Structure 1
């Protein structure tokens, strides 16, 4: 099997609110009091004659801590927008409101300030906390909006943390990448003095390099600082490893062939240090310690909450991840919500009937009730399985990472035993085969109860998009992939076939339900990047090969569709729509405060939006309310 020779194409102010809630109160109570200048150490007094409670908020640039001498506003408070209905609930009617009332980590009422105040007086106070009768009201900054907690439906949590240790995103050539590795070694004395330490990095993208060849171990070994050190560098799409000779030697001998993968070899048949798809599993690396895993996790969580993410679906690239999340949930230390996909090993024993799914563990922070199956490789590295050969490399049409019979055997078994089945499929052939398997497995089944997912669903025939919609299979898509791949996609697929790549509008019009992810670290973690890409089909600088209206502008989504794609749709895709995804009574108080209205600002201003606060269970885990 050959591999592509081309460059296979990545706010409280709480205003000091001393309102007296009396019968003489003006009906204009929905309007906030005039602004009061308060510095970053904010003092809030909620008074009704004597002081009932004193809340002191200390805010800094990276976190939000609360100290209280009375009931915490994290336990009970109303969050309101000063300019009217600037809270997007993302309910079935896509309604907007002025306030949400939070009590004991859940939303208990939405509406105007008068409405939530009445609910507080007649429901919460009478039945709950008679000693604390005045409702704490927190006002957002002018111009800001509130949306449900943002979710990423497809990401790799620990892999992101690893990639940030030695990030290779943005390198412009092989030599530039090698130099970054060298500089990393020189900047870390513990690594520099120990040549046996594995050096791990990720994010290189050879599709933007001036050469069409794959990088090799020789490129790394040629540097006198790097030579003799085990170096493992993950590609941007996580479908290729570039390794040094010292890293490769630990895994020799390698088999001649790998089903569903490629060991790139030189003209003499020797491995060059490039392993694609399933071949990556052949590389032996030191087992990660709990300290290693925690370091990676903390890096990811810190960046996630800064970006407004409250829930992440971990797409099961590494089986180690889910085991780590389980351990953290057992000790009650998951700071965000995780929906974990269990890695499928076609060579291992079937476990669907002997393993219990994890549902809402750790105070509804961890759920793992799905299995992740890889059908093919990636378009960028030339491993996506196509019906016809690649336009820029007619010698190959990619490859399936497993035998088609495996899909027809195991998908119905997992569905029968109550597992959601999520299948990675990129190419049109892979998507067609997976839809065939879903079609056979779902005959007579309650699809709403099973909710199978097609992860990526990048390139599909129009007939298969129609079948997908009729079947009710969820399309888990990554809008930022579209604006990364648009730079090389037509060269790779040709002018006709490329029209069916990232065809989000066609998918929705075919009846398919979609959900948004980023596939980080492959793309930016920022969910607003996905929102922007979906509604614009433009690069962050405003470019597209098809002009200022965007790349295939007929495939753009509305802002409402895009907002749902990163809130209620991911909740549905993870069976959590009864507690997450929208701001409705009974649901968890997960929400994000954004600096401006992404539903109204000009498209080219969307990415200027800042996250002012990220809130989970009514507690601000990042920013300033």
Structure 2
């Protein structure tokens, strides 16, 4: 970016001649009390309406910690996501906060006013009040720091070791695993080394059949190695026989899950939903976790993410993040959802982890109600169209939900519940409706994680209750190719019905569920406003899959900035570019609010800043 250093040299304290030379002894101002307070009055009158904020900045850091970001001349290229000033020319940053927002003249006035007040009130001698101004490139825009309201941080780092998404057959997937082993000498030499990867998707393979451990065991390079491969939706594990050995004997059945078996009732090597918990794996080391974390943070910053809501921190992950935060501020803001262990049940008095200055907050609980549509575990009212023998399953006893949800809410925990099928969402809304009567929902902000499919009556009930719908638009364009076969032509109309949810008064917040989908938040923005594949196609043609359910660009931007802030109780500090909020912002190479839809995914992140500090790119 271009940088212009705007400098002002204040008059001497007596008003006669230039300011004292930097090489000469500095004298304190000798204003009489009456003149001093008259000057204060003039500045305060001129800045009426922002006096408290201005006084805050009087006591803030000095000018060396500040700068301004501005649009090219004659343009308002900063999208604030604020109703008062939706687009502006400039904003200034002082310390870790946004000082002012508006035109260049307004930003300069606020900047110099704060330092003039500091000089008058504190007697600070004639310091230089430089305001570095960074002009963004022509065609670029600035948006608030982007949040992903539903993702899995360490899991993403794990899948990047061996990504399997995009393979078209079982054989191609096995080949990718084999090539990974052959290209890593330390893994090739040590046959006991656990091999992990993720992203396989059987729905795009011929006949949509699930893989088997035989496919891994029959390869001479992979035979005898422990291999654990996570499915694209993270609701199934495909394992080798060597990886499954420590978990024997397996139970015949497991509630809320499936051990896939062959015609002889023998396990095939695929474990679905709660059955995944049966697999015994080596304990991860701190270095393993740190390596995964660094991979995710690097990719997050690269794509403009400044905050992530981690949807289900198990004790190991929670301890890791807490430990990292005690050493210093995390490199990205994390809003953690504590994983609910049904076996352990409800434990009263568990304290929240609130370390905003260390960028970690854990004040919500994550509960699973059902499985996923892709693997046939989403709980439906009617059987699956392509498998009438099942209507999915609930992963938790409803009696447990009715017992623990009121207790968590009473203890001040936000309750976030994974619910995908219409039966799962309906059952959960029944519980919320029974416990939210007469309660300040705004103070609790319960969330439906995914909210993929609901009856029309439940969509209306969602808005009436004030429950937040945490949705993932990229799931829609991934599932649109197989979903009608699975649900039939009528039920499909209620899948990913984002516009209907908003029209019924509910608040939505956007995420990706990475590593299930791309970590790039622009993919979610694109999917929300187009409902097209990245190639520009859909089962319903170039207008998009059920185009009446598209979001506007303004709704999509708000859904990945201010709405996630609201969903994490941080809307007073994050989510928009407004004076007094923390200085999280992103510079994009193109104007995603106006460019044709097919140009959105070619947009690059030029700068990602957290607390005013650049963590990716440059200013």
TM-score by length of 2: 0.89
CA, structure 1 residues 73+428, in 2 after alignment: closer, same or farther (shift >3 Å)?
farther
Q: CA deviation at 1:406?
A: 1.3
Off by >4 Å, runs of 4+ in structure 1: 18-23, 48-51, 71-74
Distance in 1 between residues matched to 2:190 and 2:128, nearest whole Å? 61
Structure-to-structure mapping, 1:592-607, within 5 angstroms:
592-607=586-601
1:350 alignment partner in structure 2:
346
Aligned partner (choices 286, 289, 306) of residue 293 of structure 1: 289
Counterpart check, 1:221 vs 2:179: no
Distance in 1 between residues matched to 2:10 and 2:141, nearest whole Å? 29
> CA contact under 8 A between 2:9 and 2:128: conserved in structure 1?
no
Aligned partner (choices 83, 86, 104) of residue 95 of structure 1: 86
Distance in 1 between residues matched to 2:334 and 2:345, nearest whole Å? 26
Distance in 2 between residues matched to 1:436 and 1:461, nearest whole Å? 13
Q: CA deviation at 1:270?
A: 1.2
2:69 alignment partner in structure 1:
79
Aligned partner (choices 446, 470, 475) of residue 464 of structure 2: 470
1:275 alignment partner in structure 2:
271
Q: Say which SS state the counterpart of residue 356 (structure 1) adopts.
A: coil
1:112 alignment partner in structure 2:
103
Q: Say which SS state the counterpart of residue 563 (structure 1) adopts.
A: helix
Q: CA RMSD in A?
A: 1.9
1:239 alignment partner in structure 2:
235
CA, structure 1 residues 544+93, in 2 after alignment: closer, same or farther (shift >3 Å)?
farther
Counterpart check, 1:588 vs 2:582: yes
Q: CA deviation at 1:20?
A: 6.1
Distance in 1 between residues matched to 2:352 and 2:128, nearest whole Å? 41
Structure-to-structure mapping, 1:501-540, within 5 angstroms:
501-540=495-534
Q: Say which SS state the counterpart of residue 101 (structure 1) adopts.
A: strand
> CA contact under 8 A between 1:125 and 1:132: conserved in structure 2?
no
Q: CA deviation at 1:73?
A: 7.6
Q: CA deviation at 1:422?
A: 0.1
> CA contact under 8 A between 1:158 and 1:293: conserved in structure 2?
yes
Relative to structure 2, which stretch is displaced further, 315-324 or 560-569?
Answer: 315-324
Higher helix fraction (1 or 2): 2
1:373 alignment partner in structure 2:
367
Q: Say which SS state the counterpart of residue 413 (structure 1) adopts.
A: helix
2:334 alignment partner in structure 1:
338
Distance in 1 between residues matched to 2:350 and 2:230, nearest whole Å? 31
Q: CA deviation at 1:149?
A: 0.1
2:201 alignment partner in structure 1:
205
Distance in 2 between residues matched to 1:411 and 1:476, nearest whole Å? 18
Q: Say which SS state the counterpart of residue 315 (structure 1) adopts.
A: strand
Relative to structure 2, which stretch is displaced further, 239-248 or 136-145?
Answer: 136-145
Q: CA deviation at 1:17?
A: 3.8
Q: CA deviation at 1:18?
A: 5.6
Q: CA deviation at 1:320?
A: 2.2
Q: CA deviation at 1:603?
A: 1.2
Structure-to-structure mapping, 1:251-270, within 5 angstroms:
251-270=247-266
Structure-to-structure mapping, 1:31-430, within 5 angstroms:
75-83=65-73, 84-93=75-84, 95-127=86-118, 131-316=127-312, 318-351=314-347, 353-359=348-354, 361=355, 363-430=357-424
CA, structure 1 residues 587+378, in 2 after alignment: closer, same or farther (shift >3 Å)?
same
Q: Say which SS state the counterpart of residue 211 (structure 1) adopts.
A: helix
Distance in 2 between residues matched to 1:74 and 1:605, nearest whole Å? 38
Aligned residues: 569
Q: CA deviation at 1:74?
A: 7.6
> CA contact under 8 A between 1:329 and 1:362: conserved in structure 2?
no
Summarize deviations over 1:534-557 as a string: whole Å, max 9, x none. Answer: 111111110011111100000001
Unaligned regions of 5+ residues in structure 2, if any?
A: 12-19, 24-60
Q: CA deviation at 1:447?
A: 0.2
Counterpart check, 1:447 vs 2:441: yes
Structure-to-structure mapping, 1:478-497, within 5 angstroms:
478-497=472-491
Relative to structure 2, which stretch is displaced further, 311-320 or 383-392?
Answer: 311-320
Distance in 1 between residues matched to 2:443 and 2:547, nearest whole Å? 34
Q: Say which SS state the counterpart of residue 310 (structure 1) adopts.
A: strand
Distance in 2 between residues matched to 1:502 and 1:542, nearest whole Å? 19
> CA contact under 8 A between 2:510 and 2:560: conserved in structure 1?
yes
Distance in 1 between residues matched to 2:504 and 2:361, nearest whole Å? 30
Unaligned regions of 5+ residues in structure 1, if any?
A: 1-11, 24-47, 52-70
Q: CA deviation at 1:309?
A: 0.1
Distance in 2 between residues matched to 1:72 and 1:538, nearest whole Å? 49
Distance in 2 between residues matched to 1:246 and 1:157, nearest whole Å? 27
Distance in 2 between residues matched to 1:185 and 1:73, nearest whole Å? 54
Indicate the structure whose relative CO is greater, using CA pairs within 8 Å and at least 6 residues apart.
1
Q: CA deviation at 1:364?
A: 4.9
> CA contact under 8 A between 2:531 and 2:550: conserved in structure 1?
yes
